[in-house]
Structure 1
Amino acid sequence: MVQSTMKETRRGVVMLGKSKLEVKDFPIPTPGHGQVRLKVKASTLCGSDLNLIYRKESWPEGPGKYCSVVAGHEPCGIIDQVGEGTDGFVPGDRCIVYHINGCGVCHDCRMGWHISCTGKSRKAYGYQRDGGHSDYIIADIQNLVKMPDFLSYIDGAMVACGVGTAFAACLRAQVSGRDRVLVTGLGPVGMCIALVARASGAEVYGVELIPERRKLAEGLGFKLVDSNRAAIDEVTDGKGFEVCFDASGNRHARHFCLEAARQWGRVVYVGEGSTVEFSPSPMLLHKQITLHGSWVCNMAQMEDLVELLARWKLHPDVLVTHRYKIEEAERAYELFDAGKTGKVAFVWDDEE
């Protein structure tokens, strides 16, 4: 059980719904058995939080209910205190927090897929237990991934969800240097997919309508195409893309991925929400398309990812367009909610 001391306080963001939030003072907690306390160095904002806890007017009962805890499920920091039973972790370790604490005994947890945990004790950081939008966070060691020195704390925060999600999706599609890849929706997750796919050797194209996000993608060297068959034929010699990812959740973009995929191609739906309608025979069966759904990543994939990012010399923090202090949370979320930015991050003075 986590105990708290009232001698010092920490700042933390709590969501109120209806696009409102509050920055409050909390006691600085003490880690219990199997837990550590991290001094948070970076905590990035995620699009899923906008619908689920920022704009939400009421939270339905159930395992996914937001419990008015400190928000933020993409934290990264440095251990400053450990509890008992934390072999392998010591003060000074730089760590990423995987944002789901599963029951540990269901089949998905045993495979490292805490995100898909079916146990009643499943708790998400920033939803049912305190998350990363705070000066300190308590984390269970089963949720920690040590970070190589090459990566910045913002890199690590992005790995906690966005880049991890992109990596799992690329693994699902087996992206390699043999592929031409299309990504529809170049928000933060879509751009993470583009970065990982390119680092994996693929030739990457994107579809995006928002000018600010188009500019970011082009500045990072990605090629943009229009969402029509003529544009696809021009860049693929009339064959279509080996792999198409939809990161937008838009029904038209999802359908276009099926259109743009070549015979025997692979399509991965990553973006949340909305719907899609298509005729299975011409769009899926006759083209021999493999269609995947991909949701976040597992613990082993996250550990592999931080190693690969160092080997690739790839800093995901190139996608961060705005950085704020925790006291500026209201401004940060208002900007991010407008949907025109890259990644938005809370950082602390000594982030590096």
Structure 2
Amino acid sequence: MRAFVVTGPRRFAVLDVEPPVPGPGQVVVDVERAGVCGTDMEFFSGEMAYIEEDNARYPMRLGHEWCGTVSAVGEGVDGGWIGTRVTGDTMLGCGRCRRCLGGLQHVCEDRFEIGIRGGWPGALAERLPVPVTALHVLPDAVDAVAGAMVEPGGNALRAVEAANLAPGDRLLVMGPGTIGLLAARFALAHGAEVHILGLSEPSLEFARTLGAHGAWTSDRLPDLPYDAVIDASNGPGLPSLAADLVEPGKRVVYIGLAPTASAVDTRVLVLKDVTAVGILSASPGLAGAIEHYASGSVDPRPLVAAVVGLDEVGEILSGSRPAGAGPGPKIHVDPRV
């Protein structure tokens, strides 16, 4: 089968590789759609911390946002899975440790991460091996575009849930990327007043078309009481700003990662009685994201700007946008093209 392979920093190829064979407890999924995200770009550039920590090594097969159809099952897996449309969890815990047994497999010390950690091959390929326990069935109402947005949606939904918003509360989302915009959509569906902080006017204008009540650059951000702040940016200075802007007694949620260390003055958190929450992984939010998509309360599809084939992935990871791409931040890949 064909797969996109990163062989080193900024080195890549689309190669013919051996197709996966499902092991015990596993299935093989024919990939219909996969998303390209910032984590993939960090691996491509060589800047991802997992490489330095030896949690990931080249060559790598990227891709952890995906959907497809089960085409084969391994020993111990019900054959009824064949033909089922699915997406799946990225975080594959060992299943034996205290964290896994406590429902926290996404922070298992010995976890694999599909397309990210431990050498588990990713979804930028025609087929993908997945443990059956990681699968989530996609209802007919969730098409391929939305299906490949479940993983980022699960992250965004968890961030909104952590913000503990009541209907009518005011939320500030820092960063109009995929996670930030999805968080805005989930918060809007919950009845919140949503404002977005960003850098460029085109991205902010796109946020307004998605229903944001306000979208601002830092010099125009209104002096309003924010009941929660979600930092979905990669700006090293924004975690501190988030703590400064949130109302006393309320919540700051950190889901973005800066390329360098960020400083937060804990005196601000203590003296304002602020709760700060960190979010890693979509795992506990996947089912909820699917439910929102299926019901139509949140539509992630406008965020997808273009769909390309495997041969174009290298250009995307290098920072190019396809000709004719829409205004959204997300690029999808159809490995069958």
Same fold? TM cut 0.5:
yes
Aligned to 2:139: 148
Aligned to 2:114: 125
Q: Distance between the aligned counterparts of 1:265 and 1:163, measured in 2?
A: 23
The offset of 1:293, in angstroms, is 1.2
**Alignment match of 2:302 (pick from 318, 321, 326):** 318
8 Å contact kept, 1:50–1:337? no
Q: How does 1:104-123 map to 2 (within 5 A)?
A: 104-119=95-110, 122-123=111-112
Normalising by structure 2, what TM-score? 0.89
Aligned to 1:184: 174
Q: Does 1:221 align with 2:206?
A: no
Aligned to 1:77: 68
Aligned to 1:6: none
Q: Give the SS at the match of 1:165.
A: helix
The offset of 1:135, in angstroms, is 0.7
Aligned to 2:17: 26
Per the alignment, do residues 292 and 336 of structure 1 end up closer, same or farther by CA in structure 2, a change over 3 Å counting? farther
Residue segments in structure 1 that go unaligned for 5+ positions in a row: 1-9
After superposition, give the CA deviation of every residue in 1:306-334 in whole Å (9 maximum; x if it has no partner).
12322244221211112101122122222
Aligned to 1:257: 242
**Alignment match of 1:44 (pick from 28, 35, 41):** 35
After superposition, give the CA deviation of every residue in 1:217-255 in whole Å (9 maximum; x if it has no partner).
122222212425x7432xx3xxx1001011113122222
The offset of 1:88, in angstroms, is 7.9
Residue segments in structure 2 that go unaligned for 5+ positions in a row: none
**Alignment match of 1:202 (pick from 192, 200, 203):** 192
Q: Distance between the aligned counterparts of 1:29 and 1:154, measured in 2?
A: 24
Aligned to 1:332: 316
8 Å contact kept, 2:239–2:264? no
Q: Distance between the aligned counterparts of 1:187 and 1:250, measured in 2?
A: 12
8 Å contact kept, 2:95–2:101? yes
RMSD (Å) for aligned C-alpha atoms: 2.4
The offset of 1:297, in angstroms, is 2.9
Q: Give the SS at the match of 2:181.
A: helix
Per the alignment, do residues 14 and 150 of structure 1 end up closer, same or farther by CA in structure 2, a change over 3 Å counting? same
The offset of 1:337, in angstroms, is 8.8
The offset of 1:201, in angstroms, is 1.7
Percent of aligned pairs with the same amino acid: 27
8 Å contact kept, 2:303–2:328? no
Per the alignment, do residues 255 and 132 of structure 1 end up closer, same or farther by CA in structure 2, a change over 3 Å counting? same
Q: Give the SS at the match of 2:208.
A: helix
After superposition, give the CA deviation of every residue in 1:249-283 in whole Å (9 maximum; x if it has no partner).
312222221222112121011111333334433x2
Q: Does 1:11 align with 2:18?
A: no
The offset of 1:61, in angstroms, is 6.3
Q: Distance between the aligned counterparts of 1:337 and 1:118, measured in 2?
A: 36
After superposition, give the CA deviation of every residue in 1:145-176 in whole Å (9 maximum; x if it has no partner).
1112111222122212x111111111222233
After superposition, give the CA deviation of every residue in 1:83-129 in whole Å (9 maximum; x if it has no partner).
2211385111111121122101122222443321113xx22211311
After superposition, give the CA deviation of every residue in 1:196-227 in whole Å (9 maximum; x if it has no partner).
11112211100111233223212222221242
Q: Give the SS at the match of 1:29.
A: coil
Per the alignment, do residues 174 and 57 of structure 1 end up closer, same or farther by CA in structure 2, a change over 3 Å counting? closer
8 Å contact kept, 1:44–1:154? no
8 Å contact kept, 2:189–2:297? no
Q: Following superposition, which runs of at least 4 residues in structure 1 exceed 6 angstroms of deviation? A: none
Q: Distance between the aligned counterparts of 1:102 and 1:349, measured in 2?
A: 30
8 Å contact kept, 1:250–1:275? no
Aligned to 2:84: 93
Aligned to 2:280: 295
Aligned to 2:334: 347
8 Å contact kept, 2:8–2:59? no
Per the alignment, do residues 37 and 278 of structure 1 end up closer, same or farther by CA in structure 2, a change over 3 Å counting? closer
8 Å contact kept, 2:163–2:230? no
